[in-house]
Every structure is written in C-alpha cells, then in structure tokens.
Amino acid sequence: MRVLVMSDVHANYAALQAVLADAGQVDETWCLGDLVGYGPDPNAVVEEISEISNLTCMMGNHDIAATGKLSLETFNGDARRSLLHHEKVLTASSMDFLRALTSQAKICGEATLAHGSPRDPLWEYILNSLSARINFEHFETQLCFVGHSHIQCLFELNERSDRVQLNQTTPDKTYKLSSKKMILNPGSVGQPRDRDPRAAYAIYDNEAMTWTPRRVEYNVAETQGRIREAGLPEKNAVRIAEGW
C-alpha cells in the first residue's frame, strides 16, 4: 500500500496542490494535523483535504485553537493574529471538519500517528535524540509518524545500546525501514523550517517497508501575495520563501 504522509499544511493551498500533484496516485493519505494557522487559505485547504479518499487526518494544535477549544494565549503573537483571522473566515463546514478530527494518537497498521508526539499528541516537539528517546516508550508499533516541528527527519532506536540516532533525511532517497523502532517526520507542506522552502511530504510503502521523503516547488510568491492581501503578519510571508 502506497501512503501519502503529510503534515503542517498551515492554510497554504498552493503548496498543498503541489504536493498532491507530485505524489500522484496513492492508496491512502495520512495527514498529521495543522491544516490551518499562518497561511491565507484555510477554507480551501480544509475543503481539499476533506475530499481526499481513504483519508486519516489528525488534529493539530492550530486546528484545535481555531475551533475555540484552546486559548489563543498559548500561542506567540504572529500565530495568535493568524488564528484570530482564521476564526473569522472559516466556514461552518470547515469548522465542523476540524472539530471532528482526533487529538489522540491513532494506530494505522504498524504505525502510530500523532501531530506532536505519542506522549503529547498536540503539543510536544520531537526535535532531538532526548525527546525522541522518551517518546519511544509511548508507542507499541514499530513506527511512529509525527509532524509539528516542520523538519523532515527520522529517529532510530538501537534497543541493544539504548541509543537514538537522528538523521536529517535526503529528499528522494528511499529509506528501508528495518525492524528497529523509528519516529519519522515528513516535514511541513506549507511552512518548512529546515531552510528548504519547498513543500515537504513523504511516501510510505507498508509492503516494501520503505519511506521516501519528497520536496516539491510551488508558487511561493503567489502565497506571499495572498498572505499580505489578508493582512496577516509579514513574518508569515517572509519565512515561507526562506524555509525557517
């Protein structure tokens, strides 16, 4: 089964379209959350994702905040301004879709899915070997797919030495998933933070047991223009061109 794994679209419709076109035909799509926040097109993103067949979609911290179930005071100023805008423009059907998403980790075959981490699905960032090592105790499947950090990477646990290895993955390189436990991050569709502005995602093949991180270019300037037209923070426009 060929699975599109993506996360952190953040209302960037142009980036989402580029990813869906680049991925091509897939059997399932697993979205790890944060459909909204930061970007100019929350409704277009939610509508597009809601129409994907064989979809499993998680709730992210920006998603739950946009639905009013989490105080915006927990976010920084730019993120809060963006979410306030999204609260005003999101349609009833978009809100219904976001509210129906699960905020708990979910098992799909041999993989556990979470937005942040299996230990704290909404909020925890897995950014280093220490946070990864703690989280290996919180899922029983061989694999765990997470988003939230906006960084395309994988963590591998060597149970014999009790050490965790962090690998910054290379786009278009196919990684064979061994019997070791792994935490894998497909990166961010709409706001990468690894100094590569191209939209990020991954293809997971559960039969061949492979993971292929991908990057695809999209019209950044168009999205920047829409961010400015919407009156969103200028930082939101600047960072998508530089990947931070």
Domain, as residue range, for 216: 2-242
- Quick one: residue 37, left, alpha or beta (phi over 0 = left, psi -120 to 50 = alpha)? left
Q: pLDDT band at residue 24, thresholds of 50, 70 and 90? A: very high
Measured between alpha carbons, how far is 48 from 53 in angstroms, rounded to an integer?
A: 11
- pLDDT tens-digit readout, 220-229: 999 999 999 9
Q: Is 148 left (phi over 0), alpha (psi -120 to 50) or beta?
A: left
Question: Considering the entire predicted model, what is its pTM?
Answer: 0.97
Q: What is the mean pLDDT of the chain?
A: 97
**Residues 49, 32 contacting (CB under 8 angstroms):** no
How buried is 161 (Cβ within 10 angstroms: 0-12 exposed, 13-18 middle, 19+ buried)? exposed
pLDDT at 56 over 90: yes
Task: Please report the pLDDT score of residue 147 as a whole number.
Answer: 98
Please report, for the domain that includes residue 152, its CATH number. 3.60.21.10
How far apart CA 232 and CA 38 sit, in angstroms, is 8
More confident residue, 59 or 168: 59
Burial of 160 (0-12, 13-18, 19+ CB in 10 A): exposed
Domains held by the chain: number: 1
The whole-number average pLDDT for the span 35-50 is: 98
Whether the predicted pLDDT of 43 surpasses 90 = yes
pLDDT digits over 111-126, tens only? 999 999 999 999 999 9
